[in-house]
Amino acid sequence: MLRIAQIIRPRHREGGAVVVEFALVTVLFFTVLVAVIELGMMFWVDLTMQYAVREGVRCAVTGQMNCPGVTGTQSSQYAAVLASIRANSMGLYGTVTSDADVHTWTVAADGSYQSLALPAKSFGIGGQIIVVEVDCRWPLMTPLFQAIFPKGEFDFRVGATMKNEAF
């Protein structure tokens, strides 16, 4: 006849299996958590730089030398546009790019792109379409993404296109 204790209590202890399962699930959980954080940072940097370039182009197409967010006087409109991009990038400009990575074009009547010689005194004339693009590199933190992306960096390009106002 079976005793009640034998029916209630299993013969084999499963304490070790729980620890192994917990270790496997924890590794998977933290890998997903770090991946979500890294992807979130990548998207945040991309959107922040996109906003900064858009504000810089707004400064360019209005012909201003003292753009919002820029302190002091600028020697040229190009310097004012770069200062506006820096001021609106939340401190990311120096981390992700350099002044040499900024490209500007104007769009001709036939639709072709013509490079503006920079640093230029201005960004074209009223009515012209101006395109400003910035090449960016964001260093990745986790080995998981460093193995996926070449050189362990997230390379991206942000840009903005606007039509010059008559200034």
pLDDT band at 151 (very low <50, low <70, confident <90, very high): confident
- The predicted model gives 10-18 an average pLDDT of 68
Degrees (nearest 5) of the Cα angle 88, 92, 96?
125
Residue 89 has pLDDT above 90, yes or no: yes
Name the 3-class secondary structure at 47.
helix
Residue 54 has pLDDT above 60, yes or no: yes
104: buried, middle or exposed (CB in 10 Å: 19+, 13-18, 0-12)?
buried
Choose between 29 and 120: higher pLDDT: 29
Q: Which amino acid is at 131?
A: V
Angstrom distance (rounded) from CA 167 to CA 165: 6
Degrees (nearest 5) of the Cα angle 68, 69, 72?
95
pLDDT band at 134 (very low <50, low <70, confident <90, very high): very high
Residue 156 has pLDDT above 90, yes or no: yes
Q: Which residues pair with 131 in a beta bridge?
A: 105, 161
Angstrom distance (rounded) from CA 3 to CA 7: 7
Average pLDDT, the chain: 82
97: buried, middle or exposed (CB in 10 Å: 19+, 13-18, 0-12)?
buried
Residue 37 has pLDDT above 90, yes or no: yes
Distances 93 to 45, 76, 131 between C-alpha atoms, Å = 10, 19, 18
Choose between 118 and 151: higher pLDDT: 151
The pLDDT tens digits for 101-119 are: 888 888 777 878 777 765 5
Look up the pTM and report it: 0.77
**Residue 132 φ/ψ, nearest 5 degrees:** -120, 125
Choose between 65 and 30: higher pLDDT: 30
Instruction: Check residue 108 and report its DSSP letter.
Output: -
**What local confidence, expressed as pLDDT, does residue 6 receive?**
58
